[in-house]
Amino acid sequence: MTTSSDVLNRYLFEGLHARGELVQLDQSYKQIISNHNYPAAVSQLLGELMAATCLLTATLKFEGEISVQLQGDGPVKYAVINGDHQQQMRGVAKIDGELTGDSLNNLLGKANMIITIIPDKGERYQGIVALEGDSLSQCLEHYFSTSEQLDTKIWLFADAEQAKAGGSLLQVVPDSDDKEQQLNDFDHISQLTSTIKAEELFNLDANDLLYRLYHAEKVMMFEPQPVSFVCGCSEDKCLSAIANLGVDGIKEHLSEHQAFNMTCDFCLTQYRFDEATLSPLLTPKAQH
Ligand SMILES: [Zn+2]
């Protein structure tokens, strides 16, 4: 029995110059939105953004991290999902003001999508595309056609009430000189994929869904990859941020506030460090 949730599948189509990805999110998405009290439209946006980040992360050919951020002048100041090659995801949205509607434009106003790719080894890359039209998928397709010059199609779905999200990505495999054949294959698979429905993606096992979409094709699947919510915050990371203030800075803060109270933006974990717990930072290190 394979699970239909929190899993990313990648596959090839035998004899066709196209490859695909399918991501289905359940618990991991629930964890990203839980406790934040986001309006439904913002939870929805984060669900689509999370599916998009999973799909993008799976296109990386190296180990590293990716962050997909939407930034605008609307009531949603930003929404961001970070992920890595192990499909460990976290994300957050910041709202300031009243929502005037559910469309991307209502939420974000004039906005950009900023995609940052941070390889474990090598240089970071940042791509910025204006968020035009009313779908994240269009914006991402535009990003792929400009940054990677690869025909790409993306479908994204989220339902905040059910706390389910998911999506699919299709890409040309440019492995022959016959450009026309590649595009024909891609169009053919795109048409089949465009019949995908949110409810199927949320409820069907990946194998059943792929059979439903492509039963006349031979789909060759790679090993499924689990997707999880991993915040990555820790006491140690907080302490190293505090240490950066220097002894004087720490003392000043303590005299004003008695302690450092920190809340993780992503998972809302609260950390508290008082003078006693910070004493190792306040006493000069022994000289060796
Ligand atoms: Zn955290």
Residue 42, pLDDT above cutoff 50? yes
Query: What's the average model confidence in pLDDT over 127-155?
Result: 89
Query: pLDDT per residue over 51-73, tens digit each?
Result: 999 999 999 889 999 999 999 99
pLDDT digits (tens, 9 = 90+) for 163-198: 999 999 999 998 888 889 999 999 999 999 999 999
The CA 267 to ligand 1 mean position distance, Å, reads 4
Does residue 262 sit in helix, strand or coil?
strand
Q: Tell whether the model's pLDDT for residue 141 goes beyond 50.
A: yes
Neighbours of ion ligand 1 (CB under 5 A): 231, 233, 264, 266-267, 269
**pLDDT computed for residue 287 by the predictor:** 52
Confidence check: pLDDT of 1 > 50: no
Distance 154 CA to ligand 1 centre (A): 29
56 by Cβ neighbours in 10 Å (0-12 / 13-18 / 19+) ranks as buried
CA 233 – ligand 1 centroid, Å = 4
CATH of the domain at 273: 3.90.1280.10
| DSSP percent split of the chain into helix, strand, coil, nearest 5 | 35, 30, 35
Contact 233, 267 (CB under 8 A): yes
Q: How far is the CA of 271 from the centre of ligand 1 (A)?
A: 10
pLDDT, tens digit (0-9, with 9 covering 90-100), for 265-284 = 999 999 999 999 998 888 86
Predicted confidence band of residue 155 (pLDDT cuts 50, 70, 90)? very high
Q: Return the exposure string of 16-26: e unless at least 16 CB atoms fall within 10 Å of the residue's CB, then b.
A: bbbbbbbbbbb
Q: Give the mean pLDDT of the chain.
A: 93
From ligand 1's centre to the CA of 269, what distance in Å?
6
In the reported structure, the alpha carbon of residue 91 is separated from the centroid of ligand 1 by a whole-number distance in angstroms of 10
CA of 34 to the centre of ligand 1 (A): 13
- 């991993």: which residue's tokens? 230
Read off the tokens for 231: 């915040």
Query: Is 134 part of a structural domain of the chain?
Result: yes
User: Could you tell me if residue 287 is inside a domain?
Assistant: no
Q: Is residue 31 part of a domain?
A: yes
225 and 244 fall within a common domain: no
Range of the domain at 248: 235-282
CA of 237 to the centre of ligand 1 (A): 10
Retrieve residue 181's tokens: 């054949």
Q: How far is the CA of 265 from the centre of ligand 1 (A)?
A: 7
- Identify whether residues 199 and 96 lie together within a single domain: yes
Q: Please give the share of the chain, as a percent, with pLDDT higher than 90.
A: 85
Residue 115 forms part of a structural domain? yes
Query: CA–CA distance from 157 to each of 43, 165, 197, 252 (Å)?
Result: 12, 5, 9, 48
Q: What is the mean pLDDT of residues 109-125?
A: 94
Residue 125 lies in a domain: yes
Task: Determine the pLDDT at residue 113.
Answer: 95
Q: What is the per-residue pLDDT for 286?
A: 54
